[in-house]
Structure 1
Amino acid sequence: MSASTHTRPHPATRAGVDSRLPWWAVALPTVAFAALLVLILNPSDAQAATTGDPLITHLFERVQQLISR
């Protein structure tokens, strides 16, 4: 009489759920982070945000002066 052997499921697929991420789930947050980092490092690209209310414009200029010191 022979004993039956049990095969283990592949570690990447537990109970039928695939644990890998699609390419865009990594690429989109990376692109968004890079874009925000560029805006922080080069505030001259963010001129559209300061064309509205003069109070907000003054606040942005003040923050920029404090960061550049």
Structure 2
Amino acid sequence: MSARTHTRPHPATTGRVDIRMPWWALVLPMVAFAALLLLILNPSDAQAATANPALTQLFDWIQQALYGIR
């Protein structure tokens, strides 16, 4: 005995695709982008996660190499 398959008629396509996203799918990336942008604009407020001076010197060297600050 074979199993019965359920088929649904396909709706007529009008060329328009209806895609719905939840509100947080747009808001969360925008909030993350804004937070990172604020950290870039004012890096003096950002603090290193560790007190290791070697890492701090490395980040300072990278920043000087990128921006030509001396």
Same fold (TM > 0.5): yes
Structure 1-normalised TM-score?
A: 0.60
Q: 1:59 corresponds to which letter in structure 2?
A: L
Matched residues in 2 for 1:41 and 1:68: separation? Answer: 14
User: Structure 1 residue 41 and structure 2 residue 41: aligned?
Assistant: yes
Q: Give me the identity figure in percent.
A: 55
- In structure 2, runs of 5+ residues without a counterpart are 1-10
> What RMSD in Å do the two structures reach over aligned CA positions?
2.3
**Structure 2 residue aligned with 1:52:** 51
Structure 2-normalised TM-score?
A: 0.60
Residue-pair matches, total? 56
**Structure 1 residue aligned with 2:29:** 29
Shift, 1:53, TM fit: 1.2
3-state secondary structure, aligned to 2:33: helix
